[in-house]
Amino acid sequence: QKEVEQNSGPLSVPEGAIASLNCTYSDRVSQSFFWYRQYSGKSPELIMSIYSNGDKEDGRFTAQLNKASQYVSLLIRDSQPSDSATYLCAVNGRNYGQNFVFGPGTRLSVLP
Amino acid sequence: NAGVTQTPKFQVLKTGQSMTLQCAQDMNHNSMYWYRQDPGMGLRLIYYSASEGTTDKGEVPNGYNVSRLNKREFSLRLESAAPSQTSVYFCASSEVERGAALQETQYFGPGTRLLVL
């Protein structure tokens, strides 16, 4: 059984700062990694996907993957109050018959 | 293009009652999923369907049944509801892109809030 771990938070950052969200996973065969944002009372929405070691940037978001350390992170630059949400990390290893496993989520609060 | 739709949005049941949660997607995806989300527990997979005509158990299948009616629709049935099934239920669909890396992204419906008294 894969496990995906995240700090539950809340993580509080001032507006304009960099928010750093971390995720570790236990199954080495995991191949795909995702960050979802979930506003209170809403469904998860995909922010970033990453499949290879290194960094992947999309606007204010950067995902970082280190498969050797089984670690994936999400950086949010110039954080805005609208970024306040719960961020879910998910991993997937479909080649091995495994499905998406989600972490418990980290609640981020961006203070004006 | 509505994406993934779910009905109903809210439901209150009494213990022992049955109901079916409906899910449909218009993205022509092969794979569909049912999750439940409880406070502090994240999303937990109940059942999934890799393609039309196939279904498999996920992490928490007890007390639920599913039907993949066709490629578009995947329903979740509670035969005898229990208070422990009070939760928010999300349906999702995905398609695998087999390129240089295996890429699969899930898209979620708006959710069904279920309260079992």
Reported as a single tens digit per residue, the pLDDT across A54-96 is 999 999 999 999 999 999 999 999 999 999 999 999 988 654 4
3-state secondary structure of A94: helix
The whole-number pLDDT of residue A31 equals 79
CB atoms within 10 A of CB A42: 13
How close is the nearest chain A Cα to the Cα of B15, in Å? 24
pLDDT digits (tens, 9 = 90+) for B39-95: 877 899 999 998 888 999 988 999 999 999 899 999 999 999 999 999 999 999 988
pLDDT digits (tens, 9 = 90+) for A11-61: 999 999 999 999 999 877 777 899 999 999 999 999 999 988 999 999 999
Residues of A with CB under 8 A from a CB of B: 1, 4, 8, 31-32, 34, 42-46, 49, 51-52, 88, 90, 92, 94-95, 99-105
Contact A19, B87 (CB under 8 A): no
DSSP A43: -
Torsion of CA B55, B60, B61, B67, to 10 degrees: -40
How close is the nearest chain B Cα to the Cα of A24, in Å? 15
The whole-number pLDDT of residue A96 equals 41
The whole-number pLDDT of residue B102 equals 59
DSSP A39: -
Of A88, A92, A99, the CB nearest to B58: A99
How close is the nearest chain A Cα to the Cα of B93, in Å? 12
Picking from B35, B25, B58, B88, the residue whose alpha carbon sits closest to that of residue A1 is: B58
DSSP B99: S
Question: Which residue matches tokens 């070691």?
Answer: A53
Which of chain A's residues have a Cβ under 8 Å away from the Cβ of B55?
none
pLDDT digits (tens, 9 = 90+) for B86-116: 999 999 998 876 665 556 778 999 999 999 9
Which of chain A's residues have a Cβ under 8 Å away from the Cβ of B42?
4, 88, 102-105
Q: Which residues of B8-40 are buried (b: 16+ CB within 10 A; e: fewer)?
A: eeebebeeeeeeebbbbbeeebebbbbbbbeee
Task: For residue A97, name the pLDDT band (cuts at 50, 70, 90).
Answer: very low
pLDDT digits (tens, 9 = 90+) for B5-50: 999 999 999 999 999 999 999 999 988 999 999 987 789 999 999 8
Written as one letter, the residue type at A36 is: Y
